Amino acid sequence: MTLLTHTGRPFERAPYSSAKREKPGATSAHLAMIKRVGLIALTSLLALCAVGGIIAVKTAAYLSHFTQ
């Protein structure tokens, strides 16, 4: 029971209070999630641009037949 007793002043917070500590992997997990979402958004944007580029090239090739 001696490990659970408070050895400081009676109204002083314990040095290793559970309310003061944060989870050690919480920040890195949030950062990894933000990076993953950003990577998915960037990949989607690049895929849409590639599809739009293909459509533009095909349209230009199709319309060029009418100018001759």
> Tens-digit pLDDT profile for the chain (68 aa)?
555 665 656 666 656 555 555 566 778 889 999 999 999 999 999 999 999 999 999 999 999 988 76
User: CB within 8 A of 14, min separation 6: which ones?
Assistant: 6, 8
Dump the DSSP string for 5-24: S--S-TTSPPTT-TTT---T
Enter the pTM of the model: 0.55
Report the run of H or E that residue 27 belongs to, with start and end. Answer: helix 26-67
Give the single-character DSSP code of 21.
-
Tell me which amino acid residue 20 is: K
